[in-house]
Chains A and B, each alone.
Chain A
């Protein structure tokens, strides 16, 4: 009897399966040896590439160096954590991380919803489809390509300066990436440019499931376009919005590393140094492994707490949860 039918049998007659005892269990295991081998390979990969780094977090509590192994390195308790909380750079790093995230939340979160709302109002299905297709092209470009465009455009002889000078908004050219004053704006704007269309997809899908009868009823009641958007479409996607919003809030310490890593430089460091960059700098550039691990751990724990909190809120709101 093969594994599948045996399992089906076992489900149907639980008493028989229990009678089988250890011998039955071993026979079942033998019958699914190929399946187990496939599953174990996956488990082995996860243990090596996910769980060993989790074990590696112990060096946050040790003084790790290249000569000794992780196990041998001496314990130092909370020294590195204490050091981080008295680090001169802490205030700046926190301000940059949370500042950029909040700006992305306040400006970057509602824009895809608005874009989806207006896209949804287009009469021509073909035009709607064309706009949508064009709008999410940037999502597939790497941040390096985007960084390449931005460094060219934002330089003192770049397109942005030429444009603003032509409009008479500025007189002298500004090297935007070489000044800390503009970094947050640049990061938030370019992030919106890249992800506007992509983020809108999920809202458009939610809108497609709003019942056409609702619109008909609203039309009969004399509702205009804006009123339908406000009182039919928006409530129809409120569930999706709340899930994505809570998710976005819980990711507040996750700055977009790939993006900031391309655009940061020594001149804009005071506004571009976010937690992830700080961890990279101390850990990889300066080889202070234990200290950088401690900072990363603090971030991971807070993020995990926010995520579990978000999940709890979703559960209480009776929305579909994340896990």
Chain B
């Protein structure tokens, strides 16, 4: 409070300008998202006249109705939800399991395992050899192409290892005396006490799974039923393929919607889960970033 009283004019000007600057940055950050939301709630035909910047001019839910009526979008959304859930659970479980083994000092060959992993962080085969491997494993046009090649990450392993190292020794030894083997120990003792790091990695990977569009572009070559919503949108956005946006089946709805207005509604639906998860994200992400930056 004393500081407030001692503020000079110069200080007050600085503070005022600074607050203003921050407000401008916040506006610039939010406005594009707001623009999409407003346009998704406006009559598509009317929106073609332009000028919808702050609020909908002709309010309607029709664009969202058209999204739900579009089998392509609904299928793609289902793929995204499935791959995010299955992919995240498997990634966290598998990476944590390997990390637990790597974290135990008595593990024979531990240095070799760690070297094997460290090399993968600084060098890789690259796009084409990876593509050929996926093809040879018959994972092209296969749902598991989203899951298995993303099941493990050495970066995440390092975060897990640094967490597991901090666990109290007595915890494991007590279970050991009860005759539990290392796998049971991992499942029943280690995982339940490691929920903060599990949540962090799950959110990291969940967002990545949700947002990734490239796997769907490169590995889904024929069976478009298997493309996630982000890939669906990629084709609409980058290849300007709007033919899939408005289906004629929607009956009366088709009169007011346009491919652009349905695109806006799809973008909102695609972004909504991220926005809803955001409070958790920011709590755990910052923590995860810190762990990562210390070790990485």
Interface of A toward B, CB cutoff 8 Å: 2-7, 10, 25, 28-29, 32, 34-39, 41-43, 45-46, 48-57, 59, 70, 115, 118-119, 121-123, 127, 130-131, 133-138, 140-149, 151-153, 157, 159, 162, 193, 196-197, 201-202, 205, 224-226, 257-258, 261-265, 276, 279-280, 283-284, 289, 292-293, 296-297, 299-300, 304, 307-308, 322-323
Given contacts A3-B182, A57-B125, 14 further A-B contacts (CB under 8 A): A5-B173, A34-B182, A35-B107, A41-B98, A54-B125, A118-B21, A121-B18, A137-B275, A143-B213, A151-B240, A262-B234, A279-B126, A289-B132, A307-B122
Given contacts A42-B152, A118-B18, contact A4 B127 (CB under 8 A): no
Given contacts A140-B281, A148-B263, contact A283 B25 (CB under 8 A): no
A293 contacts which chain B residues (CB < 8 A)? 126, 128-129
Contacting pair B25 A131 (CB below 8 A) = yes
Residue-by-residue, is B186-229 near A (CB-CB < 8 Å gives 1, otherwise 0)? 10000000000000000000010011111001100000000000
Contacting pair B128 A279 (CB below 8 A) = yes
Contacting pair A149 B238 (CB below 8 A) = no
B282 contacts which chain A residues (CB < 8 A)? 133, 136
Q: Mind listing 13 A-B residue pairs with CB under 8 Å?
A: A42-B97, A48-B133, A49-B152, A54-B125, A56-B129, A118-B22, A140-B281, A145-B233, A145-B271, A148-B263, A280-B218, A283-B127, A292-B127
Asked if B176 is at the interface (CB within 8 A of a chain A CB), the reply is: yes
Instruction: Kindly state the separation between the CA atoms of A56 and B290 in the bound complex, as whole angstroms.
Output: 35
Given contacts A50-B120, A289-B128, A300-B124, contact A39 B102 (CB under 8 A): yes
Rounded to whole Å, the gap between the CB of B63 and the closest CB of chain A is 14
Contacting pair A131 B126 (CB below 8 A) = no
Given contacts A38-B186, A293-B128, contact A142 B230 (CB under 8 A): yes
Most chain B CB inside 10 Å of its own CB: which residue of A118, A146, A153, A264 = A118
B181 contacts which chain A residues (CB < 8 A)? 34
Asked if B116 is at the interface (CB within 8 A of a chain A CB), the reply is: yes
- B10-31 CB contacts (< 8 Å) to partner A: 10-11, 14-15, 18-19, 21-22, 25-26, 28-30
**Shortest 8 CB-CB distances between A and B: which pairs?**
A53-B125, A56-B129, A42-B98, A7-B106, A142-B211, A296-B126, A39-B101, A38-B101
Contacting pair A145 B117 (CB below 8 A) = no
Asked if B59 is at the interface (CB within 8 A of a chain A CB), the reply is: no
Given contacts A54-B129, A323-B118, contact A258 B105 (CB under 8 A): no
Contacting pair A57 B126 (CB below 8 A) = yes
A224 contacts which chain B residues (CB < 8 A)? 10-11
B152 contacts which chain A residues (CB < 8 A)? 42, 45-46, 49
Contacting pair B36 A149 (CB below 8 A) = yes
Contacting pair B131 A283 (CB below 8 A) = yes
Please, which residue of chain A has its CB at the minimum distance from the CB of B296?
A322
B123 contacts which chain A residues (CB < 8 A)? 54, 300, 304
Contacting pair A28 B108 (CB below 8 A) = yes
Contacting pair B98 A162 (CB below 8 A) = no
Contacting pair B50 A162 (CB below 8 A) = yes
- B266-296 CB contacts (< 8 Å) to partner A: 267, 270-271, 274-275, 278, 281-282, 286, 289-290, 293, 296
Contacting pair A38 B237 (CB below 8 A) = no
Contacting pair A53 B29 (CB below 8 A) = no
SS class of chain A's interface: helix, strand, loop or mixed?
Answer: helix
Contacting pair A265 B238 (CB below 8 A) = yes
Contacting pair B289 A193 (CB below 8 A) = no
Instruction: Kindly state the separation between the CA atoms of A6 and B107 in the bound complex, as whole angstroms.
Output: 12
Please, which residue of chain A has its CB at the minimum distance from the CB of B105?
A7
Contacting pair A147 B22 (CB below 8 A) = no
Contacting pair B237 A262 (CB below 8 A) = yes
B36 contacts which chain A residues (CB < 8 A)? 148-149
Instruction: Kindly state the separation between the CA atoms of A165 and B45 in the bound complex, as whole angstroms.
Output: 24
Contacting pair B106 A3 (CB below 8 A) = yes
- B29-57 CB contacts (< 8 Å) to partner A: 29-30, 32-33, 35-36, 50, 53
Asked if B151 is at the interface (CB within 8 A of a chain A CB), the reply is: yes
Contacting pair A134 B30 (CB below 8 A) = yes
Of B94, B116, B213, the contact of A43 (CB 8 Å cutoff): B116
Contacting pair A56 B132 (CB below 8 A) = yes
Contacting pair B29 A138 (CB below 8 A) = yes
Rounded to whole Å, the gap between the CB of B39 and the closest CB of chain A is 8
Asked if B141 is at the interface (CB within 8 A of a chain A CB), the reply is: no
Contacting pair A46 B116 (CB below 8 A) = yes
Most chain A CB inside 10 Å of its own CB: which residue of B29, B97, B173, B214 = B29
Instruction: Kindly state the separation between the CA atoms of A42 and B128 in the bound complex, as whole angstroms.
Output: 23
Asked if B258 is at the interface (CB within 8 A of a chain A CB), the reply is: no
A308 contacts which chain B residues (CB < 8 A)? 122
A134 contacts which chain B residues (CB < 8 A)? 26, 29-30
Contacting pair A57 B101 (CB below 8 A) = no
Instruction: Kindly state the separation between the CA atoms of A307 and B133 in the bound complex, as whole angstroms.
Output: 26
Asked if B149 is at the interface (CB within 8 A of a chain A CB), the reply is: yes
B124 contacts which chain A residues (CB < 8 A)? 50, 53-54, 300
Instruction: Kindly state the separation between the CA atoms of A38 and B93 in the bound complex, as whole angstroms.
Output: 11
B33 contacts which chain A residues (CB < 8 A)? 137, 141
Instruction: Kindly state the separation between the CA atoms of A262 and B207 in the bound complex, as whole angstroms.
Output: 18
B102 contacts which chain A residues (CB < 8 A)? 39, 42
Instruction: Kindly state the separation between the CA atoms of A115 and B267 in the bound complex, as whole angstroms.
Output: 29
Instruction: Kindly state the separation between the CA atoms of A304 and B53 in the bound complex, as whole angstroms.
Output: 47
Instruction: Kindly state the separation between the CA atoms of A142 and B267 in the bound complex, as whole angstroms.
Output: 10
